[in-house]
Amino acid sequence: MLTWGFLLLVYGVIAGIVLLLSNTDLFARIGELGFGGYIAAFFDRANLTAGKVVAVISFVLLILGIVLYIIGRAKAKKTEETNPIIPEKVKKYLRDVKGEFKKIVWPDFKTVVRNTLVVLAMCAVTAVVIIVVDWVCGFLVGLM
């Protein structure tokens, strides 16, 4: 519960802030609207967009994350477990990600160019095959 609460908390904070601030035209008017006016204008039914709906969902997840995190920390105290701010599962996951990033081998420029040319050549071959099949199918339909 502690881990899920922490993850939802982090997601809710990041996504909520990004989505609220992404409405720069509205955010620029926060001085004249005030915070309450900004919230009212943000959720105006006439200008309701998918981004605003996602912002609402993000804030609900943020609140859920706070609740789960608090409950998880309270349960950890009752069972006398270590009670870190960042759960051990999250720390282990981040250590594993860091280890995997060290294993990445980036190709050199020559390899990137060669692979790009192979992809472009395969796209051209696929286009020719599609054109030929389309022409044959069109010819057969014309005979009918």
Q: How does pLDDT run across 33-64, given as a tens digit for each residue?
A: 777 777 777 777 666 677 667 777 777 887 88
Residue of higher predicted confidence among 136 and 49: 136
Residue of higher predicted confidence among 79 and 110: 110
Percentage of the chain beyond pLDDT 70 is 76
d(CA 50, CA 30) in angstroms, rounded, equals: 21
Mean of the pLDDT values across residues 105-124?
95
Residue 83 has pLDDT above 60, yes or no: no
Residue 122 has pLDDT above 90, yes or no: yes
d(CA 56, CA 19) in angstroms, rounded, equals: 9
What tokens appear for 56 in the block? Answer: 């609402």
- Buried-exposed string 87-107: b where 16+ CB fall within 10 A, e elsewhere: beeeeeeeeeeeeeeeeeeee
Q: How many helices (H) and strands (E) does the chain have?
A: 6, 0
pLDDT tens across 18-38, in order? 776 776 666 666 677 777 777
Contact assessment for residue 8 and residue 62, using Cβ atoms and an 8 Å cutoff: yes
Residue 109 has pLDDT above 80, yes or no: yes
Nearest Cα to Cα of residue 19 among 59, 47, 46: 59
Provide the mean pLDDT of the chain.
80
Residue of higher predicted confidence among 41 and 114: 114
Residue 129 has pLDDT above 60, yes or no: yes
Query: Using the 8-state DSSP alphabet, how is residue 45 labeled?
Result: G
Q: Show the CA angle centred on residue 59, arms to residues 58 and 62, nearest 5°.
A: 90
